[in-house]
Structure formats: structure tokens, C-alpha cells
């Protein structure tokens, strides 16, 4: 079994999307600082996960969550379930 998961940092509220063949081990790695990509953002909470039979389907789903469509769906989820806790700020450069 392969798991696609979305974590939210309790430190900066940002999300991390990944996939693995051993979710429990990987979640512990993220929270203990053993994962290079999330080392300084721990601790994390799980906000979403789904399981797949093979790594090809899991990787495709991970890439979808990281795409524009997936990010929009994730933003929609946050706005629906946590309307006052999460704020999305759009910034623009001004010359």
C-alpha cells in the first residue's frame, strides 16, 4: 500500500504533500526533524491521506495535489473547514 498525505505545520501553518509506502514511519520522520524538507517546520498534523495499491497511482495523485488544481482544492478545503484560522494573502510587487 502507498499513501499520499498532506501535513500542516503547527509552526507556520504551511502544508507539505508527499507519498510513501510506510506512512507511520514517514510521519515520525517529519515530526522528529529527520526529513530534510520539513526539518525546521515540525511539528505537523495530518490533514488528509489516501491509499493506493501501487506507487505509480500514488505518485500521480501526489503530483495532482501539488498542481494548481490540487492547490485550489486544498485552499477550498481550508476556507470551508477553517474560515477564521487560515488566511491566504496575495502579494504583488510594486515598482
Q: Alpha-carbon distance 58 to 45, whole Å? A: 20
From 23, 29, 19, select the one nearest 54 (Cα to Cα). Answer: 19
Does a structural domain hold residue 95? no
- The enclosing domain of 54 has a CATH number of 3.40.1440.10
| Domain limits for position 51 | 2-81
Which residue from 54, 88, 58 is spatially nearest to 71, judged by alpha carbons?
Answer: 88
| pTM of the entire predicted model | 0.80
Cell triple for 47: 490533514
pLDDT tens series, the chain, 95 aa: 999 999 999 999 899 999 999 999 999 999 999 999 899 999 999 999 999 999 999 999 999 999 999 999 988 887 887 655 545 555 445 54
Amino acid at each position: 500500500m502507498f499513501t499520499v498525505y498532506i501535513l500542516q505545520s503547527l509552526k507556520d501553518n504551511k502544508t507539505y504533500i508527499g507519498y510513501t509506502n510506510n506512512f507511520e514511519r514517514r510521519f515520525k520522520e517529519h515530526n522528529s526533524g529527520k526529513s530534510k524538507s520539513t526539518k525546521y517546520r515540525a511539528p505537523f498534523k495530518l490533514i488528509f491521506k489516501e491509499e493506493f495499491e501501487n506507487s505509480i497511482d500514488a505518485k500521480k495523485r501526489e503530483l495532482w495535489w501539488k498542481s494548481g488544481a490540487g492547490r485550489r482544492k486544498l485552499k477550498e478545503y481550508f476556507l470551508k473547514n477553517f474560515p477564521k484560522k487560515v488566511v491566504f494573502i496575495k502579494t504583488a510587487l510594486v515598482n
